[in-house]
Structure 1
Amino acid sequence: MLHNRLLTLLSDFGLSDVYVGVMKGVIAQINPTLTAIDLTHEISPQNIAAARFCLMNAYSYFPDGTVHIAVVDPGVGSKRRGVAIKFAGGFLVGPDNGLFSGVLSESPPVAAVELTNSEYWRTPTPSTTFHGRDIFAAVGAHLASGVPLEQLGRAINPETLVQLPILECTQTDESLVGYIQYVDRFGNLITNIPGNLVEGKTWSVEAAGFTILSNKTYSDSPAGSFVALVGSHGWVEIAVNNGNAKLVLHKDLGDSVQILLHS
């Protein structure tokens, strides 16, 4: 009996080539009634940290039981594991390289398997450069169609799943220090400082020699001016109204950011 769980797809494949379409073709060959929703395929190449952030900020908007296939896989063809993971909100399928660690930091894994059962692959002799097609898309489709997790491979201890090393923000009575965990296509700098830490407070950001006052919306500052706010994702964000904060501040992933809390 087909379950027809929803599928999502996330990758760094872009849309100029046929890779994404081919993965959808594999899914359709297994179960043409499945619905696959694209989260994004514009993750910058090999950027596992960006994939981690995007998936972490997307999964909660989908129904319980959704199968999330994510493929940002610089280690494809190496000894890195392919995994399927069950968590409270659904399932994760892809390489075990840390890209799932954001989701799992919010919703811990219930069970996990290494994808060793080639019966559920597209082919028992997969390409060494395209596991997204030959393993992950196929496994995800079978999982979404009702194949039990434990049939997909060898059970592994969820504690052995790769964690992407992510620095924590630090807090004192007068300041918060964090780092940039994602840069979106507008050049907005999204930090790892949770918005609830500045809620109800007067605060500003110190970055690249600038003091940036907090506001509620982008348009609270004149065009071309800096603005600091809590974005829709719930994290403190630095932006330039009608501009690109990354280019103006020369800041990027991993760079530090300080918030001053004013009495």
Structure 2
Amino acid sequence: MRDPAGYSYLSFLTDYGREDGFVAICHGQMLERAPAARIIDITHDVGPGDLRRGATVLAETLPELPPGVHVAVVDPGVGTERRGIVAHAGGHVLVGPDNGLLVWAAEALGGIGECHEIANPGLWRHPISRTFHGRDIFAPVGAWLAAGLDPAEVGPEIASSTLVRLEEPRRAVSGRIAGGEVRAIDRFGNCQLSLLREDLTGLGDTPPDSLRVHLPAGRWTVPFGTTFAEVDPGAPVLLVDSAGYVALAENGGNAARRFGLGVGDAVDIEPGDDAPAGD
């Protein structure tokens, strides 16, 4: 599993934001140990402690990146007994807390391979803070791995079956109803659902303009299109987003705000009628 030449870059995702120096401090720890590595900042705008959002962004982003070391820190359990882990998947190396953050991404890369618990304090920054393991543990370990460290030196190998997993989003097709939930909401207010296009094809020969969407706030008939611009400005549309999921969007607007949706809200879709949206 080891690449003795190391990796040319590290990616980095956190919920640290950019108002403080936390991200820059971690960059410094990385570059001190792997000075030749390039750092790709995926995002540091994950909501504080929002494991699902962090896991979703990682799972959608890492398959688009070349093999490298990926450090991710969304860690509401920092300082507790939760483990730190290194997981291999599809030629990539993922580093972070064992709280479910890394698992969806590892599976999107082809499945979880060799795993190690981060247990070698000789690789860490000292003294260790109980509130900043991104600086003291994950950034240094990720950098050492990028520089060619043998993963066996990180700590003991552990079974992937012991890793903490997040609850999978609801996704089921029963009869002519596709049942899902809001998987993620981006900065434009587009609501990515937990459903795939094939989940909608199971509803029967439904015209694209007659999908009935059941939301917590009511029922709407929404067109199924391929672009935002297929509907009038301000109108809603269902489409398949760049990650392959069905999304509820609004042309030029904010679907999450329009429909009062949040992550985890139930969304059921069935063949509808030609009534206008918003009845």
Q: 1:164 aligns with which of 163, 166, 186?
A: 166
Distance 1:256 1:4 in 2: 41
TM-score (norm 1): 0.94
Q: 1:226 to 1:116 in 2, by over 3 A?
A: same
Q: 2:25 aligns with which of 22, 25, 35?
A: 22
In the other structure, the counterpart of 1:53 is 56
1:234 and 2:244 aligned: yes
Q: Secondary structure at the match of 2:114?
A: strand
**5+ unaligned residues in a row in structure 2: which ranges?**
274-279
Q: 1:212 to 1:262 in 2, by over 3 A?
A: closer
Q: 1:67 to 1:202 in 2, by over 3 A?
A: farther
Written as runs of structure 1 = structure 2, the 5 A alignment for 1:53-92 is: 53-64=56-67, 66-92=68-94
Q: Secondary structure at the match of 1:57?
A: helix
- Residue 150 (structure 1) shift: 1.1
1:142 and 2:144 aligned: yes
Q: 1:7 to 1:205 in 2, by over 3 A?
A: farther
Number of aligned residue pairs? 261
Written as runs of structure 1 = structure 2, the 5 A alignment for 1:3-42 is: 3-42=6-45
1:113 and 2:113 aligned: no
Residue 195 of structure 1 aligns to which amino acid in structure 2?
R
Distance 1:232 1:196 in 2: 15
Q: Secondary structure at the match of 1:260?
A: strand
**5+ unaligned residues in a row in structure 1: which ranges?**
none
Contact 1:224/1:241 (CA < 8 Å) preserved in 2?
yes
Deviations 1:121-162 (A, max 9, x none): 122x31111100110000000011110111101211110000
Residue 41 of structure 1 aligns to which amino acid in structure 2?
H
- Residue 196 (structure 1) shift: 3.5
Contact 1:190/1:236 (CA < 8 Å) preserved in 2?
yes
Q: 1:253 aligns with which of 252, 263, 272?
A: 263
Deviations 1:234-263 (A, max 9, x none): 100001111111111111111111122479
- Residue 233 (structure 1) shift: 1.0
TM-score (norm 2): 0.89
Written as runs of structure 1 = structure 2, the 5 A alignment for 1:205-216 is: 205-206=212-213, 207=215, 208-216=218-226
Q: Percent identity?
A: 33
- Residue 175 (structure 1) shift: 2.1
Q: Flag the structure with larger Rg.
A: 2
Contact 1:205/1:257 (CA < 8 Å) preserved in 2?
no
Contact 2:33/2:143 (CA < 8 Å) preserved in 1?
yes
In the other structure, the counterpart of 2:103 is 101
- Residue 172 (structure 1) shift: 2.8
Distance 1:7 1:194 in 2: 31
Q: Secondary structure at the match of 1:10?
A: strand
Q: 1:216 to 1:119 in 2, by over 3 A?
A: same
Deviations 1:191-230 (A, max 9, x none): 1101343369645251332221211111111111111100
Contact 2:49/2:75 (CA < 8 Å) preserved in 1?
yes
